[in-house]
Amino acid sequence: MARAHGEATAVPEREQWSGQIGFILSALGSAVGLGNIWRFPGVAYESGGGAFLIPYLVALVTAGIPILFLDYAIGHRFRGSAPLALRRLGGRLGEGLGWFQVLISVFIAIYYTAVLAWSSSYFVFSWDLRWGDDTTAFFTGEYLRAAGEPFTLDYVPAVAIPLVIMWVITLGILAAGVVKGVQRANVIIIPLLVVAFVAIVIYALTLPGAAQGVNEFFTPDFAALADPNVWIAAYSQIFFSLSVAFGIMITFASYRKRRSNMTGAGLVVAFGNSSFEILAGIGVFATLGFFAFQQGVEIGDLEGLTGVGLAFMTVPAIVSEMPGGAWVGALFFGSLTLAGLTSLISILEVIIAALRDKFALTRAQAVLGFGGILAVVSLVLFGSTSGLTALDTIDNWANNIGIVGSAVAMAVIVLWVRRRGRELARHLSAVSTFRVGRTWLLFTSILAPAVLAYMLVTKIIDLLVNGYEGYPAWYLGVAGWGSVALMIIGAVLLPQLRWRHDPDRFEAWPRPDQLALKGGVR
């Protein structure tokens, strides 16, 4: 709708999911990622085994679900990407927070693609067990050709080629649009992922030693509950696995129709994500139990129980010992690739949506233009012999400093400075079957930010005092702290640029008077 000559028009109406199922599968595709498969099992085992499920569930209910609902409420009520929705809620201060979240996604996207490239390569390697007997030497030496220097321009074709292929596939899906691209990919991939992983778990449970592995995973060490670090680990796991506080769920919620059940879908996504994590834990520890049985050692004596070491060193070693190992390896690395792909799509959609809203770009311009630039940066940084070091460093700062800081800032700006908590609670209750009220406000405005602020401060002190993984201080200053500095600079500068459409020509629905009539906060 045009206004008088010289005045900006309103931001165009957004694309919309085809329905509830498409949204839930897309949100699940974002939440279920690499961390579910390679992080949760190891963290749970090292943090009390079965007893870890107690702080895990407490963290899910008091922080994970409440912040997920906060993201949903902001995106659905103010109908925009993170910068646009937070601008409509909190002015330029809110827009700055939105761009901070977009820049977190930029940094994560460029290294996340590298892990997809590795896992897709290992899917191919599985068929002839190419990693041989020394899987660690194969991964760091023959495959990555990892250098001692923190930064090189020596490119590794075996990494660079699948990296390019992953970018082409992902950008192709994003260019097709929200329904024909993002939703369709998730509707196909998520059922495939579940079937493949269930097949792995069922097979693993039939192997000798599997029962001992599962028993190790679930045996509770209740003394661990007295350790504050176990509770911090639980909040950290829940927080990172739900894809909250860096723009994804705000963006996805903005694509829902006005009349949509937000909290009901959110509960399905949250508990679906946790169910997959527990399934992954059973599968991983059943295979570890088999490996320990084969080696004649205890599971606690095994190395590489989490992260990159688990996926690309320990699992290949186990697969080589299994009957039918080639098929199991292909299923595992195929699952890892699919889980990572759906998460990467959601991360890049945060960036695409923000650029389209602010600069009035077409989807093709945003995807092929800025997406192409990110692909080149990703290839330069992670296609070389120093890719592993860069990935490890940027991942640590983007997650532990960037995302946690973003969540604390969002709670402070939205709930304390702009005081929009009651409005958001009423919005969720007005459109959803599961109503929220004072308890939700208590968790999102006090408990969750307090725990997250503690995590943030202790992590900053630890990194300043102890550094990280023995990397040179100058390198951590550039790749680690420098990444966070660029996010902050972008959050300050980008709100100063002119909107091509008028972001404030907008009326939230239900209107404030309608929310008051519908009963309000309990």
pLDDT of residue 522: 38
Sequence-distant (6+) residues with CB within 8 A of 180 are none
**What is the number of domains present in the chain?**
1
Q: Give the CA distances from residue 395 to residues 126, 246, 304, in Å, rounded to whole numbers and listed in that order.
A: 27, 14, 18
Q: Classify residue 11: in a domain, yes or no.
A: no
What range defines the domain where residue 284 resides?
20-499
pLDDT of residue 440: 97
pLDDT of residue 228: 86
Q: Classify residue 214: in a domain, yes or no.
A: yes
- What stretches in the chain show pLDDT beneath 70? 1-7, 517-522
pLDDT of residue 271: 96
* Amino acid occupying residue 252: F
Q: Classify residue 330: in a domain, yes or no.
A: yes
Contact yes or no for 119/168 (Cβ under 8 A): no
Contact yes or no for 189/196 (Cβ under 8 A): no
Identify the burial level of 255 via C-beta atoms within 10 angstroms of its C-beta, where 0-12 means exposed, 13-18 middle and 19 or more buried. buried
Instruction: Indicate the SS3 state at residue 444.
Output: helix
pLDDT of residue 448: 93
What is the tens place of the pLDDT at every residue in 255-298? 999 999 999 999 999 999 999 999 999 999 999 999 999 999 99
Q: Classify residue 15: in a domain, yes or no.
A: no
pLDDT of residue 152: 86
Q: Classify residue 289: in a domain, yes or no.
A: yes
Q: Classify residue 517: in a domain, yes or no.
A: no
DSSP state of 142: I
Contact yes or no for 95/491 (Cβ under 8 A): no
We report the CATH number of the domain holding residue 391 as 1.20.1740.10
Query: For 73-82, b where at least 16 C-beta lie within 10 A, e where not — what string?
Result: bbbbbbbbbb
What number of residues does the chain have?
Answer: 522
* Amino acid occupying residue 211: A
Q: Classify residue 397: in a domain, yes or no.
A: yes
Q: Classify residue 519: in a domain, yes or no.
A: no
pLDDT of residue 6: 55
* Amino acid occupying residue 457: V
Give the separation between CA 495 and CA 90, rounded to whole angstroms.
Answer: 12
